[in-house]
Amino acid sequence: MSNPSLVRLQKFLARHTTYGSRRTCEQLIASGAVRINGQPAHLGQSVDPEHDRVEVDGRTVVPKKSGVYVLYNKPRGVLCTFADEPGETTLTDVIRRMKLPVRVFSVGRLDADAEGLLLLTDDGTLAERLTHPRFGVSRTYEVGLNQSLTPEVAERVRRLRSLRPFVLPKSRQAQAEGRADMRPPRRDAFRDTRPQRITPPKILDGVGGRHVRILLKEGRQREVKRIFAEVGLRVEYLRRVGFGPLRLKDLPPGAWRTLSRAEIEELKSENS
């Protein structure tokens, strides 16, 4: 069984050092400057921040203490990336305006054309646990469809156990908008094109109409869009309103707030 406390080495270095992005840290690892428990590190390796000793050029990396938890209502058009995207608004721009005391990252992501609840934190251990499928942390979405969800089609959604693989469009704009091409993938599109198993979705309300609420137990890539594409429907509006015990409530688009101590404790107990 995989250990959810493990973190990719380049991700660990990007969070707890000032060397830069994950890609920069990958180059650092490849150069031979990094050691784990006294042994040379290599690309693809993972570490346990609580038990492994990581060194860069002979200096021990001391994991930063976690303590920032921000709930952000992401508007449409904001890209969930920390890469430089000229002419686009990214999470880097948003976080810069927040003026937080430490570097944070997003727990999961939302497509550019989606909106809603996004958790930002510097707590890497919690983030790994919240996104690990083993713990089944719930995500609740409000979905607008191109046509009504009939009871018969809703039952087909509830019985879904797997999703077809999909091909990402080549253009950067199409990728940013998060459109999934549901045509059969090219043979060389993925190393593994087998159907992806999922936990059956739960439709909370809205059957018979075009606006529904759906609860998922994992965060597969573009999962909501792919679920409804499986039954011949297209998602025209997507808003995440719940993540584990957290609720978006009346927080305006583009606004953010820090979590209360009670919310943080509840979030941590969600997967303990």
* Strands (DSSP E) found in 59-183: 59-60, 69-74, 78-79, 89-90, 105-107, 115-121, 139-145, 162-163
pLDDT at residue 168, as a whole number: 54
pLDDT at residue 166, as a whole number: 62
List, in order of start, the domains of the chain with CATH numbers. Answer: 7-60 (3.10.290.10), 69-133+248-269 (3.30.70.580), 138-243 (3.30.70.1560)
pLDDT at residue 40, as a whole number: 94
Tens digit of pLDDT per residue, the chain (272 long)? 456 578 889 988 987 887 877 888 999 999 999 999 999 999 999 998 888 999 999 999 987 666 899 999 999 999 998 887 888 999 999 999 998 877 888 998 899 999 999 999 988 878 888 887 778 899 999 999 999 999 999 999 999 999 987 655 544 444 444 444 444 444 444 444 578 889 999 999 999 999 999 999 988 888 999 999 999 999 999 999 999 999 999 999 999 999 998 998 888 877 55
Cα–Cα separations (whole angstroms), residue 36 to 7, 9, 187: 13, 9, 38
Give the active site residue among 111, 123, 181, 205.
Answer: 111
Catalytic (active site) residue 111: yes
Residue identified by tokens 């025209």 is 236
CB contact at 8 A, 138 and 244: yes
pLDDT at residue 141, as a whole number: 98
pTM of the model: 0.71
> CA-CA distance, 122 to 141, in Å (whole number)?
25
> CA-CA distance, 263 to 211, in Å (whole number)?
29
